[in-house]
A and B are shown apart, each in its own frame.
Chain A
């Protein structure tokens, strides 16, 4: 009888939590049901400068960069060892963990940090691909530092590599 009472009370807490959660987040739930946040949990009202791009768009930006377009920077949010094993040519490695908890070595002598990208206006951020999320988390951090044109390549390194596109390795 005691275990039934416990189960009933737990169920009651869960139901109460569901009702409260749905009521408090009603506008958000409606937007989710309407199809928002499908590519990532990024609120466009809060992060107006972030958008998701496909492989074709990424390729196009890469081609422009190779032709010398200025202000365009590719950022790889994976771990340094993954980055060293292969990355999009010219990409800068900014591992999410270091961006979240920057140490002394991440700050230059002039006070600039690893999240300062002099001259860059458009940042293309990617991670491993598939279900990886570090690119989104990094994009939010960079957005909060004032960058207003951030593109997240959701296919990531896996899709880039599968497509047989150029890659670069560290020695």
Chain B
């Protein structure tokens, strides 16, 4: 378990920053994101729209909270759950042979492939480190 508070802060900035960036790009184009969700061919039309409206804000808020340290563990857990969901979705798309852009960074999205699963897995590991961490108190 990581106890060094500076290492933890770095992990929080990395994970939180990625989520704020990803969320902000999606907020700018909700219909494009809804389209990306539909591309995975597992989520019904109306639900895809609902997710496209709400999920980017979940990403931005949890990312921001993670960085500023407000609701730190809850944000880390929520981000971990989201990442696990993203990994499952991309794995399913790959297994079904669906060729699609990931939709993760709006118009800057890349292809949903195995390297994306690896990236998400690294972020998931970081988020779980933050969730389980018990930062050491500064000694006097």
Contact = CB atoms under 8 A, between A and B. Distances in A.
B71 A13 contact: yes
Interface in B80-123: 99-101, 111
A152 interface: no
B59 to A, nearest CB: 8
A132 B41 CA distance: 7
B74 A13 contact: yes
A40 B74 contact: no
Nearest to B76: A6
Do most interface residues of chain B lie in helix, strand or loop, or is the interface mixed?
helix
A16 B45 contact: no
A38 B49 CA distance: 10
Contact of B99 (A17, A22, A96): A96
For chain A, give the interface size range.
35 or more
B65 A25 contact: no
A6 B31 contact: no
B31 A41 contact: yes
A17 B31 contact: no
Given A14-B58, A38-B45, A25 B74 contact: no
Contacts of A22: 53-54
Interface centre among A16, A41, A100 (most CB of B within 10 A): A41
Interface centre among B48, B49, B65 (most CB of A within 10 A): B49
B75 A42 contact: no
Interface in B42-70: 45, 48-49, 52-58, 61-62, 65
B30 interface: yes
A65 interface: no
Contact of B65 (A13, A100, A101, A137): A13
Given A41-B32, A137-B35, A16 B56 contact: no
A32 B35 contact: no
A24 B99 contact: no
Contact of A43 (B31, B56, B73, B74): B31
Given A13-B58, A13-B65, A40-B38, 11 more contacts: A6-B77, A9-B74, A9-B75, A10-B74, A13-B75, A17-B57, A17-B58, A41-B35, A43-B31, A96-B99, A137-B35
6 nearest CB pairs, A to B? A9-B74, A17-B57, A21-B53, A17-B58, A41-B35, A41-B34
Interface of A: 5-6, 9-10, 12-14, 16-18, 20-22, 24-25, 28-29, 32, 37-38, 40-43, 79, 95-97, 100-101, 130-134, 136-137
25 contacts: A5-B74, A6-B73, A6-B77, A9-B75, A13-B61, A13-B74, A14-B58, A17-B58, A20-B57, A21-B54, A21-B57, A24-B27, A24-B57, A25-B30, A25-B53, A29-B53, A37-B34, A37-B49, A95-B99, A100-B101, A130-B41, A132-B41, A133-B41, A134-B100, A137-B39
